[in-house]
Amino acid sequence: MKKLMHMKNIYSKFPKRFHIKPTSTNLDTQHKLISLKKKVSVLYLQLANEKKKVKRKNTKITNLKKEIDFVKVLNKRPKSTAKYVQTDAVKTLPKISMGSQCNLTRLDSMELKNEITYWQNEVIKINQMNEPDQPVPSVKEKTRGNPFSHKIRECVLACISKNVPMQNISDVIGSICQIFNVEEIDTLPSVASVHNISREAKAICNKQLEEAIKHSDNLTIMKDATTKQGRQFYGAKINCSTGEFTLGHPSEISTFNMAVLKPLVAYSTVIECLGQMALSILKDDGTTRPQKNHFTQHKFDDNKCKVDVEKQQDNGMARGKKMRRIKSIIMAQARKDAEILKEKSIADDIKIEQERRETIKERIEEKEAKLKKSQQHLKDVINQIDKMGGKWKNEFEMNSYIQALQYKKDKLNALKTQILFRKDVEKQICDKTLFRRNLDIQQLQKNLINLMEEENKITNLEDAIVPMEVDADINLSGILSNHDNPSSPLPASSTCSTVISNPDQLPSIPEPSTANNSQSPSSSSVPKRNQSASPSAPTQHELISKPPCWFKKKYITHTWDEGSELTTYHGKKIALCGTQKNFRVIYWNELEGQIENTNLEKYDLTVNELKNDISEGTLKIIY
């Protein structure tokens, strides 16, 4: 019974369509049949399950294929044509893979595809709207040297031909481009490059003109003149078979063309001939007439000889001897000419060499004269400043001096001298317009005040650095005495050992160190290292007795021991500064080729230190 009940239960689990009612005719047969039915049922069940699995797998494969296609579309979208905002849905899309979510993904992908297409079309439209009618020419070419393009060069030459100042050409081109909505050009040629482009064009013009003249059989020069503002402006025109070239005054033709002619006149023998011809024409009554140049004439003679020889040949063998005689005459003449030309060439070479030497000698003399003149100028300025009692250091000094003068001329001279002193002697670095001197008194005063302020800025900056280094020296060399300058809170040696100029520069003289100071505490830093004394002139002692004279003297020589040997430096007092009124001095070693310049290190020396070194003979005042 139990078995039957169990079978019934199992049977009841099968689907109804698989139910087979048992019969009572043959129990064994029924039993077998039931067993078979059970097996078939089980197989059906397994088959149904397998079908379901296959179906799910197919669905999954289809969905995965769709997702792959969508991801491919996303990857193909343009990167920089437009900014697309990737939604969270899209970001999480690869994670979605199952069931009904796949249908949503497909819809999203379709919408996104449409959106991408729409925005791509919009971008294309915008690009087409912004695109100029013609493509923007590239500013530079991607070739060796990265040169400016021909278009830029054409623009520059067009500006030059219209007398646009070279400094403004790039700005003009840039402005025009901006006005016409061309893309902003950030790499326009500098003034130097504009200059170079101009040079190129001139070189080409020179070459063209020379070639044209050389290969011209029929060369003519015409002249014309015009009067402007009472002045005569001459112009000349060279007309040859290859074209026309204009020579003239800048007001008649462009400076560009005028400049082309300068080197030709100087260097070309062809143009030398042309110049002579032009002069002869200009000396005429003004009529214009064509002339042949020397080369044309020479060519004509050669042709004539050639024609003569050919005629002789045509007369047959009977005239052979005569022809040979003529030939020999011609050859002999040619040899003579060659000899003459050779001698002339040697003579010309000698002459050229002599002229070259004379020119070099003249240039050297000119340079020496200029140098002498410059030095004299500096001395004159220094003398004038000395007569004025020194350089004005503030507005009060300036006003008091100016008010004391009676004549306007003297006031102007005084102001100009002060400005000149700062410009040429001290070589003060500032706005160059402050050095202008063709101004009235008020403007000159204003500029001078500005110059003083500029100088004070630098001096204050330097003074601000001094105490820090001085303190360091005090701490490290506390044994130094301050008896030289009792009123000063700082030891004299530390002030004079202070290096003020920028530390990046290599020192023109060895930087005084605290170690050196401690080793020789009895003397001052730069002068402190002086160990030998040379005899000083009496005038130096006079100067010692009159300290104010220091204010007027500028240049010195200073000798000290640099470890192994004595070295003499040239020096210059550049300012009287600081709370202690120290002399600020710069040094340079002329034996090592150093020269005076504004970048040298600066040292502060007290009056007592200077007096000591003059007494020792290691410091001399030159002028």
Partner DNA sequence: TCTCGCACTTGGGAAGCGCG
Partner DNA sequence: CGCGCTTCCCAAGTGCGAGA
Region of 581 (left: φ > 0; alpha: ψ -120 to 50; beta: rest) is: left
Least distance from C-beta 449 to DNA, angstroms?
Answer: 17
The contact mask relative to DNA for 57-76 (x = CB under 7 A, - = no) is --------------------
Least distance from C-beta 513 to DNA, angstroms?
Answer: 32
State both tokens at 525. 């830093």
Least distance from C-beta 198 to DNA, angstroms?
Answer: 5
Residues 395-414 touching DNA, rule: CB under 7 A, are: 409, 412
Segment near DNA (CB under 7 A); pick from 189-197, 268-276, 324-332, 496-504 = 189-197
Residues 550-609 touching DNA, rule: CB under 7 A, are: none
- Of 36, 40, 89, 191, the one binding DNA (CB under 7 A) is 191
- Of 45, 259, 388, 576, the one binding DNA (CB under 7 A) is 259
- Of 263, 390, 467, 521, the one binding DNA (CB under 7 A) is 263
Q: What span, in angstroms and rounded, lies between the C-alpha atoms of 395 and 445?
A: 9
367 binds DNA (CB under 7 A): yes
Least distance from C-beta 182 to DNA, angstroms?
Answer: 19
**What's the Cα-to-Cα distance from 340 to each of 89, 317, 329, rounded to whole Å?**
100, 34, 16
Choose among 508, 498, 515, 492: nearest CA to 588.
508
Segment near DNA (CB under 7 A); pick from 51-59, 187-195, 293-301, 581-589 = 187-195
- How long is the chain? 623
247 binds DNA (CB under 7 A): no
Phi, psi for residue 239 in degrees, rounded to 5: -120, 115
Contact 208, 200 (CB under 8 A): no
Q: How many residues bind DNA (CB under 7 A)?
A: 41
Residue 438's Cβ-count burial label (10 Å; 0-12, 13-18, 19+) is exposed
Residue number with CB closer to DNA (164 or 326) = 164
Residues 111-150 touching DNA, rule: CB under 7 A, are: 142-148
State both tokens at 262. 């300068």
3-state secondary structure of 505: coil
How many C-beta neighbours within 10 Å does residue 434 have?
A: 18
- Give me the residues paired with residue 245 across strands: 238
Residue number with CB closer to DNA (298 or 408) = 408
3-state secondary structure of 604: strand
Contact 586, 554 (CB under 8 A): no
255 binds DNA (CB under 7 A): yes
Tracing tokens 């002619």 back to the chain, one arrives at: 261
250 binds DNA (CB under 7 A): yes
Least distance from C-beta 154 to DNA, angstroms?
Answer: 13
Residues 159-178 touching DNA, rule: CB under 7 A, are: 160, 165-167
Q: What span, in angstroms and rounded, lies between the C-alpha atoms of 490 and 155?
A: 66
Tracing tokens 């219209």 back to the chain, one arrives at: 162
- Of 30, 81, 120, 196, the one binding DNA (CB under 7 A) is 196
437 binds DNA (CB under 7 A): yes
Contact positions vs DNA (CB under 7 A): 142-148, 160, 165-167, 187, 189-193, 195-199, 202, 250-251, 255-256, 259, 262-263, 367, 370, 409, 412, 432-433, 435-438, 440
